Structure 1
Amino acid sequence: MNGNEFGFPPQYRLKKPAEYQKVFAKPVKSSDRYFTLLAIKNDFNHPRLGLAIAKKQIRKAVHRNVIKRTVRENFRIQQNLGNIDVVVMARREAVDAPLDTLRKSLEKHWLRLVSRCASCL
């Protein structure tokens, strides 16, 4: 296993506002007390990730950055997501949760979104 198999190159990220708007327009949703994830199918052969971690929900930049790193790392490890675009939004409760709890929550969301997006267009 080489290091490139688990990389997070730029083509795996949502960057442009239009890409985010497409996901926000008609998403498949999955949420719990820590995260809300929105997803749609894309035209690529790989998943793409976008983060929308609001200052209004999580005030301190340190906490926002920890959550973003945790989400990116968890996404990077997932290799079976298929061709979906996902936007992750965090809730206030994510600040106080242990990282292990956040990881488990994200893993449940990935599975849920993959099964729900399999039936969407």
Structure 2
Amino acid sequence: MAVNTWNTYTWKPALAKAGVIPPRAEGAKQWQWEAAPRDGFHVLRHTYASVMLEAGESVVTLARWLGHSSPAVTLGYYAHFMPEAGSRGRTVMDGLLGRRGRPGGG
């Protein structure tokens, strides 16, 4: 089934029934929804990717899961969801340098 078909005839009716988006306007064709594109099924994919990156999942792994041609594509869409990028590396280096700087060795 094509994603647009599923989005129009299954996903958006389910959202409307749940009260997430407004119901189809009276007299509208079955494929006519006032819901914005952000209400489409693709938002679930975007949410999943965002949550995975915020949880620290590897960009390389996520790119593979999403079917992107490279991690650069994934970063182009989702880098803003990685506010802690680099903090783990800094923490490790601080720990290593802190141990080495202590009197008595390490």
Give the TM-score normalised by the residue count of structure 1: 0.19
Please state which structure has a larger fraction of its residues in strand: 1
Where is the helix percentage greater, Structure 1 or Structure 2? 2
* Structure ID, larger Rg: 2
